[in-house]
Structure 1
Amino acid sequence: MTQNHVSGMETSAISVLKRAVELDQSGRFQESLVCYQEGIQLLMDVLKAVKDDSKRGHYRDKIKGYMDRAEQIKAHVNQMKEDGKYHEQIRIAEDATGYSYEALFKPYISSVLTEVWVEDPYIRHIHQLYNFLRFCEMLLKASCKVKRIHLLTTQDEANSGQQGGALAELQESLSAQGVTLDVQYSSTIHDREIRFNNGWIIKIGRGLDYFKKPKGRFSVGYCDYDLRQCQETTVDIFHTKHTKTL
């Protein structure tokens, strides 16, 4: 392995671990844990490639320090979950980027996740239907085995044919992937909430529709939602041992 490659891995590790410390300090523990784990793995790869004993000792000390902190956070998060007191808040600023569904939901997805409930009154217009499709695609690619997705939304009175047709097509497409989509409508629904059957509850002020419209079809952020600007909103994350069905 070349020196440049090792240096590149070290730069990546430092960047990820810096983010982990920032998240840790701002109380976003579950997110920081994901970054600590990624950063530690990168540092371990650097350690394997380094031959100099003094440098190896330096990396070992760094890895141990970060591992100890990650274990403390894990214990703290588990205790809060056990006590039913877990609450984390993320504020997405106006025009912020880096908040694709992958980025936002990844810390709360685990291998035991099999069922998801989405309660969102605004899965009606075409861009909102595409948002829901992207959310489903994110679940299919994530490190979990989702088998059932429930959607509770309002019916688009003006264009129920487009909404119904899009969701029916998505149902068929998900079915081919071994996932059942259950769609229900309510005229009184107001809250926006996403529940995972591993205990996590994510409430986004704007629901899944927190992205700004891109300036054009060939503008940066049109395809990659990590580069898409967001509207200001607040995300509240809770954990419960008993996930209620909607």
Structure 2
Amino acid sequence: MSDKEAGIEASAVSLLKRAVEMDTKHQFSQALVCYQEGIQLLMDVLKVTKLEAKRQRFRQRITEYMDRAEKLKAHIDEEKETGKYHEQVHIENNSVGHGYERLFGRFLDSSLTAVEVEDPYIMSNHQLSNFLRFCELLVKSRSPVCNIKLLTKPNNENQSAQQRHLDEIGSSLRQHNVCLEVEFSRTLHDREIRLNNGWIIKIGRGLDYFKAASSTFAVGYCDYDLRPCHETTVDIFHRKHTKPG
């Protein structure tokens, strides 16, 4: 087996191990994605494996994981259909690997066209930067998102700067055929992100769950997957008949 094939096999094992861990924690949507990606990698390795004993072992493992993935998908679909789906992710203090793409990416499918963000703390520069990074994820995803609506609190200390930066984000999004609507509420408290494909994500700390990087030249400053996090809880629901406009 070549180094490349060995690397693919190692990636498959890592993904499937993570799938089992997520499955055990009842983080089913994450588990399903890991199962699907891990199975595909194992199938890629199977195509180039010459030893029959190893090929047989791979086939057996693929069959087992595919069976679990199919049952898991059926369970998720049933829970979504009845409006009972609930998944909880606990992000531990100082843990890494929780960038926006990993947290939200699996929900950004081809049926998603509109997103509503309710977060009272899109005020300071780093919070506005977090919101921009979230918008960038939507723009580069496969979802044909054309409308993003933000409801946040006004920055009483410098609302003009807050408005200016949000206007800049809106202007930039228009270049990608995405309309940004911004509303302010002084009494807003809850943090919730609603996708019009039915997914609802509630994060205890909103989008601002990352710790500050030690410097602008520290690992994790640009790549949020490498940025340590504050402890927070993410609750994920699906409401088939609850869609933002």
Normalised-by-shorter TM-score class: over 0.9
1:52 and 1:159 map into 2 onto residues whose CA distance is: 67
Match of 2:186 in 1: 187
Equivalent pairs, count:
245
* Cα-to-partner distance string for 1:78-110 (whole Å, 9 max, x where unaligned): 111112111111111111111110111122221
Q: Deviations over 1:179-219 (max 9, x none)?
A: 11111111111100000011100000010011111111111
Specify the code of the residue in structure 1 equivalent to 2:73: K
**Per-residue deviation, residues 214-238 of structure 1 (Å, max 9, x unmatched):** 1111111111100101111111011
Q: Give distance in 2, aligned partners of 1:103 and 1:244.
A: 23
Worse overlay, 77-86 or 24-33: 77-86
Q: Which residue of structure 2 aligns with residue 5 of structure 1?
A: 4
Query: 1:141: how far off?
Result: 1.6
Shift of 1:169: 0.8
Distance 1:245 1:57, change over 3 A: same
* Superposed displacement of residue 33, structure 1: 0.3
Partner of 2:133: 134
SS at match of 1:122: coil
Match of 1:214 in 2: 213
Q: 2 CA distance for matches of 1:178 and 1:244?
A: 21
Instruction: Check whether the contact 1:43–1:63 (CA below 8 A) recurs between aligned residues.
Output: yes
Give the corresponding residue for 2:88: 89
What is the TM-score normalised by the length of structure 1? 0.97
For residue 163 of structure 1, what is the amino acid of its counterpart? Q
**AA aligned opposite 2:100:** Y
Shift of 1:244: 4.3
User: If the length of structure 2 is used for normalisation, what is the TM-score?
Assistant: 0.97
- Partners of 1:151 and 1:182 within 8 A in 2: yes
* CA distance, structure 2, for counterparts of residue 115 and residue 83 of structure 1: 22
Query: In the alignment, what sits opposite 1:233?
Result: 232
Q: Per-residue CA shift, 1:18-41, capped at 9, x if unaligned? A: 000000011000000000011011
The answer to whether residue 123 in structure 2 is matched with residue 124 in structure 1 is yes
**1:2-151 correspondence to structure 2 within 5 Å:** 3-151=2-150
**130-139 vs 209-218, which deviates more?**
209-218
State the Cα distance separating 1:160 from its structure 2 match: 1.0
Give the CA RMSD over aligned residues: 1.1
- 1:2-60: per-residue Cα shift (whole Å, max 9, x none)? 62211111111000000000000110000000000110110011011112223222211
The answer on whether the counterparts of 1:196 and 1:243 sit within 8 Å (CA) in structure 2 is no
Aligned equivalents of 1:195 and 1:112: distance in 2? 14
Counterparts of 2:24 and 2:2, CA distance in 1: 33
Q: Extract unaligned runs of 5+ from structure 1.
A: none
> The residue matched to 1:39 in structure 2 has which SS?
helix
**Unaligned 5+ runs, structure 2:** none
Query: In the alignment, which residue of structure 1 is the partner of 2:161?
Result: 162
* Counterpart residue type for residue 108 of structure 1: F
Check whether the contact 1:17–1:39 (CA below 8 A) recurs between aligned residues: yes
3-state DSSP of counterpart to 1:146: coil
1:209 corresponds to which letter in structure 2?
A: D
The CA distance in 2 between the partners of 1:177 and 1:107, in whole Å, is 21
